[in-house]
Every structure is written in C-alpha cells, then in structure tokens.
Structure 1
C-alpha cells in the first residue's frame, strides 16, 4: 500500500467515524419537533409568514346552550312542541335554571297548559320571590284557571316590584276588565299607556271603555 492510499483510507475512516457518531447521538433536526411553541399563539413562520400561527380553538357550546338555542328557534317559528321537548331536556341538565324555566313557562302558556305554567312560575318565585316577571306571568296563568283573587294578588306584587313597567299594568287591567271591574281596568290601561305611549293595545282598550 502506497502512502497516498494509506492517507485516503485514514480520511475515509475518519469520515465514517464522525458520521456514525452524529447519527447515533440523536443530535439532529427531526420532523415534527423542530419547533415547539412556548405561547398558544406564537408564530411559526416568523415575520415573513404571519399567517402561519397557532389559532385558538373555539370553545364548544354546552349541551344546555344548544338546547336553549333550539328552543328559541322553535319559539320564533311557532313550533311550541319542539320548544317544549328541547326545554324539558334542558331541565334534566339544569333542573332549576331560571332561563330554562322562564322559556318553558312561555311554551306552556302558548299551549294553554295553565296548570304546568303555574307550576313553572311558582318554581321561579321559589328561586327568587322578587321576580316581578314571574309574579305577572303567574297572575295570568291563575286568571286562566279561575283563581282570580290569587291572580290579583300577584298582579299587585309585580307592580309593587316594578311600578314603571307598562306590561304589568296592562296585564292587571286585562284581568280587571275580564272581571267586569271596568273603572279600575281603565285606570290601569291609562297608566300602561302613560308609561309606554307606543302600547297600541292599551289605546284600543281605553277607547272602548271611554265610549
């Protein structure tokens, strides 16, 4: 072996040694772990590719939110049965959730199911005795059930809790009108119109009672 061949052999051996030492050391770039984000929205592409970023995933809707949306859509379309099914399913998840109960009360009233509506509004008042909307709605349900003294009481409670809310006076006036108490009804219709001059139904009833 000549000196030149010996030098080539030694160089080749050195190259192979360095190559295999690097290979088995694991100290080389590997696909998939080259970049590790330290922040949720850290850029991958740098200043030249701002589009290549981590994006935050949208928080998924809860099952309760989905059911409430189904109920709202169904109510808007006038599909009371579908709304009722969605809200009854929602009650399984959140038995005393006021938003679920309030919507279900509306459904029962629309379906003329005043017994179940009464139960719903009584539950709302058990949760919050100062819920003026629940008092007013319970009064309407009780009136339909012929329990007028209780209805008048809850109308009065609704007005006591929020005397500046025109619908409370209007609903109270309707009950008084049905009971033949026309002068009292007229006073309440006038009060409702005073609080809300756009309340056309009150205008019509005032016109009828003043004839």
Structure 2
C-alpha cells in the first residue's frame, strides 16, 4: 500500500466516524417533524430559499370597512351622491350598523334630504335611545322640517343625556332663536359658552341678545 492510499484510507475512516457520531447523537433533523412557528400567523420561506424571512400577513379590510372609507373620502370631496352609493351598499350588508346610519343621516342633511335624514336618525334611536348625538341631530332635522315641538323634545333629551356637551346647548339655542324665543336662546348660548369658551359664535349671539335686552 502506497503512502497516498494510506492517506485516503485515513480520510475515509474519519468521515465515517463523524457521520456515525452525528447519526447517533440525536442532533440531526428528523423526518416527519414539521416546523412549529412561534406565532400562529408566521409565514415560512421554502427550504430552498434561506434568504426569505418570516413575515406577518397583512390584514385585509372587510367590505364594510372599505365602504365606510369610500364614504369618508367622498364626503371630504363633497361628493355626497357617491357617499350615498357607498352607504347604500353598506346598509345592504348590515341595515342596523350605527356608523352607517349616522353617516347616512349626515349626508342626507348635506343634500337637503331632510325626510330621509329623519328616517336614518330615528332608526339610530330605535337601536340606542341613549345616543345623545342622534337626538341632537334628529332635533336639527325636525326643526328643518318645521316639526318644532318634536325638535324641542329631542334637544332637551340630548342635554339630559350629556349636559356638559356645549354644542347641545348651542344647537337648542339656535332653534329657540329661530322661533323668536330670544330670552330662552340667550340662556342656551350663555350655558354653551360657559362650557366651552372657544365657541365664538355663542359669544357673538350673547352680545347680540344682551344688547336687545338693554
């Protein structure tokens, strides 16, 4: 046996030794054992793509969320007809969705469809009678429709539900002012300004009505 052949024999012996050591050590990967992700939504790159990293899949918005986003974008552009279309589709998905009903009422108000706005706000209140914002909005709609007795009831209900919210007092004062009840309106404007002294319009109306009483 030549020296070169002896060298090859030694190398082969070393390789076999390392192979069998690894085989019986229990450290080698086992067939039939799946990778267990640390997080339930981890994505795993292929075995032949070690350059890939784990990532969390992007959560896609629901159809309802998409329609509400479309509505907001349309309102920002004052494209109220497009907003109505998006909200109409949303109501088909869920006719009792309070966000949709609130936005629909607002859009109808902007387009002068007061009867439709009234219907939206009444539906809101049928779902949640304690919604002070719906009471206030309905009161404004009823005033536009000339149903002032009912408007007053909803203004007062909104104030009872949240007496510290200045716009409720301000809106009621506006209705009273339109009805010629200026002394009562002055009380409302004064209360609104006491609660929120950034309401410059309330301050302006206080001065106007205060001078009328002098």
TM-score (norm 2): 0.77
Establish whether residue 81 from structure 1 lines up as the match of residue 81 from structure 2.
Answer: yes
Question: 1:180 aligned to 2:174?
Answer: no
Matched, 1:41 2:49: no
Post-superposition offset of 1:52: 2.9
> How many residue pairs align between the two structures?
176
In 1, Cα distance between the equivalents of 2:86 and 2:44?
Answer: 43
Kindly tell me: are residues 42 and 70 of structure 1, through their superposed partners in 2, closer, same or farther at Cα, counting changes over 3 Å?
Answer: closer
8 Å Cα contact 2:43/2:57 also seen in 1: no
1:132-151 equivalences in 2 (<5 Å): 132-151=132-151
Report what 2:111 is aligned to.
Answer: 111
Q: Is the 8 A contact 1:41 1:53 kept in 2?
A: no
**Alignment deviations for residues 114-156 of structure 1 (CA, whole Å, 9 cap, x no partner):** 1001101100110001111111001000000000000000000
Distance 2:36 2:204 in 1: 68
Residue 164 of structure 1 aligns to a residue whose secondary structure is: coil
Consecutive unaligned residues of structure 1, counting only runs of 5 or more, are 1-32
Segments of structure 2 that go 5 or more residues without pairing to the other structure are: 1-30
User: How far apart, in 2, do the equivalents of 1:115 and 1:176 lie?
Assistant: 21
Give the whole-Å Cα distance in 1 for the aligned partners of 2:114 and 2:100: 17
3-state SS, counterpart of residue 129 of structure 1: coil
